[in-house]
Amino acid sequence: MMAGMTARAIARADFTLGDAPPSGYACRMIEKFSKIRLAAGAIAFAAAFVSTTALAQPAQPLAPRTAESDLPLDDARANMELPQVALAFRVDPANRSISGQGRYTVQASEALDAIAFDLDPRFAVTLVRVAGRVLGIGEYANPDGLLRIPLDENLAAGESVEVDIHWRGQPHVALNPPWEGGFVWSTAPGGEPWIATAVQGEGCDLFWPCIDHSSKRIDRLDMSVIVPNGLVAAGNGALVGTTANEDGTTSYHWRARDPSNYGVTLQIGPYDVVERDYESQFGNTIAIRFWHLPGNKAGARRLVAEMETYLDFFESKFGPYPFSDEKVGVAETPHLGMEHQTINAYGNEYRESELGYDWLLNHEFAHEWFANQLTHQSVNHMWLHEGIAQWMQPLYLGWLHEDEGVYDAEMARFRRQIRNRVPLVAPEGTLPDYNDRSAGWGTDIYYKGAWVMHSLRYLVGEEVLFDAMTRLTYGTDDPQPGNIRPVNRTTDDFRVILEEMTGDDLGWFFDAYFYQAELPRLTVLRDGYDLTLKWDSPAEAAFEMPVEIIVDGEVRRIEMENGSAHTYLPRPDAQLSVDPYMRVLKEELPQSGA
């Protein structure tokens, strides 16, 4: 539990856990919605929690719609905004099941005669209430993963309605988390339940009704998670309070602003917590909290100290930590990791790297800027998350060790991982498959994306690039704590910002690297004193990337107007090296000539 946080009652509310009418004892919940009542005997959670036999998860594949995120917003979801959502989860480890309640403030951006939420159809929807009226079972339907709910009265643009949804069932079990996601039901070394969610690829609809699209966010989320006593639920945002319930459970109430949909998570275990406060260079204090399993305190303390150096690096390079009013949070998980907003999942087992950092923790923490603050407009632009975060690793190492050679060595290692089989940005109207190994897109968004950033650094210069990244990430050149809201971005947004800051047309660069699979090829021809360099690219525009050469120890930068250049050597047998410092992402070809 966070330092200084005490259990306290939270005001009364009118919506319930379970499906019976509100009666019996109360669980604490959300300030606005007051107290959640629990029907006495509605569900025998106390008995289930002490059961030693878990129900087996049926081998049921995901519905096609549920298996995909960022499907086109071609229904009511396009015109729905969610300024406020309250979620309440009861997690039953013994039966590997959950029951949930959600209260949604739905605001119409355009006229609406119905609303819709994405939700895995394996869940039983047990109650739908719109504007205070409980709908009959035949008035709503979720046959395919799109929960359709009619409205008695149409909503005009700008109008809002309150919607309650209750659901329950056994959520999809992750097949290979975090890459093939879902619920992870595991056991801590002491025998206690150890539970996590990781749903980036498949989406938030794997365990709660949501709008499963990257362009949609929630302005404010209140989330109550009820777990058996002895377990801790670490969540997004700031801890509002905890409550010991009368049925052998504990409620954890978290409040978060602007969470991304796949960033909403449940992290549950017999956690202890390491706490430290960080004094930011921007004048504010940031809470660092690491929820770890018993026995791992030393490792957690070491990583908390390491995270202070991450904050030093990111804040000095790009701008303030975006969620400083909530926390920097990490929870130890039974899977490798995931960038859940303000509560990153960590499963790297505290392994110390010879390079002096934990690559997994560094990568997930980078996502607080490049995924949670800057969120791609659609999964097609996922390289903005993964490629930039991947590039942060060698960039951080060079900064940490004050040695550009460490940076160069990591970039050389990254270069060997690039596949170039499909474009980095999939065409609009298509959804790339992260797990398609033959296509390799799920690899290239990391390594090729990082290399594109590396080449941009050479093209426009570090100062311009980092300033452009600040504007891209915050939507302003001067972000300040307390005045930061997340932004959705596309690859083209990045191009426009860079063109504004450089005054140059960079369409040729973006076309070649993002919308073509094949890399540009550089032909080098020597003929006596003559040296000819020529770019060949499948992109329509001429590739005008400058090229560094070293001639007899002298470094030259050769501009490549219209994709080619001609220069002279001091002598026919001069020593020549082209792109000696590996600045440019290209297909490697042998040099030719006399």
Give the ranges where 441-506 is alpha helix by DSSP (H): 441-460, 462-474, 491-502
Nearest-angstrom CA–CA distance, 522 and 532:
10
**Nearest Cα to Cα of residue 361 among 313, 401, 316, 325:** 313
**Nearest Cα to Cα of residue 31 among 247, 179, 221, 258:** 221
Nearest-angstrom CA–CA distance, 210 and 180:
19
Is residue 367 part of an annotated ligand binding site? yes
Q: Do residues 151 and 135 touch, judged by C-beta distance below 8 A?
A: no
Report CA 281 to chain centroid distance, whole Å. 25
Please tell me what DSSP assigns to residue 139: G
Nearest-angstrom CA–CA distance, 347 and 186:
13
Name residue, tokens 């390799």.
440
What is the chain's Cα-based Rg? Answer: 26
Provide the total of helices (H) and of strands (E) in the chain, helices listed first: 9, 31
Q: Which residues contact 400 (CB under 8 A, 6 or more apart)?
A: 309, 313, 356, 357
Nearest-angstrom CA–CA distance, 155 and 109:
9
Which residues on neighbouring strands pair with residue 17, listed in sequence order?
A: 38
Nearest-angstrom CA–CA distance, 459 and 498:
11
Q: Do residues 554 and 417 touch, judged by C-beta distance below 8 A?
A: no
Q: What is the largest CA-CA distance in the chain?
A: 94
**Nearest Cα to Cα of residue 565 among 530, 528, 513:** 530
Three-class DSSP category at 120? coil
Nearest-angstrom CA–CA distance, 134 and 72:
30
Nearest-angstrom CA–CA distance, 569 and 386:
42
Three-class DSSP category at 514? helix
Is residue 386 part of an annotated ligand binding site? yes
Three-class DSSP category at 308? helix
Burial 559-569 (b: 16+ CB within 10 A, else e): ebeebbbeeeb
Q: Do residues 249 and 229 touch, judged by C-beta distance below 8 A?
A: yes
Report CA 230 to chain centroid distance, whole Å. 29
Is residue 363 part of an annotated ligand binding site? yes
Report the C-alpha dihedral over residues 409, 414, 420, 425, rounded to 10 degrees: -120
Residue 461 sits at the vertex; the CA angle it makes with 442 and 319, to the nearest 5 degrees, is: 70
How many other C-beta atoms are found inside a 10 Å radius of the C-beta of residue 441?
24
Nearest-angstrom CA–CA distance, 249 and 352:
37
Binding residues for Zn(2+): 363, 367, 386
Binding residues: 363, 367, 386
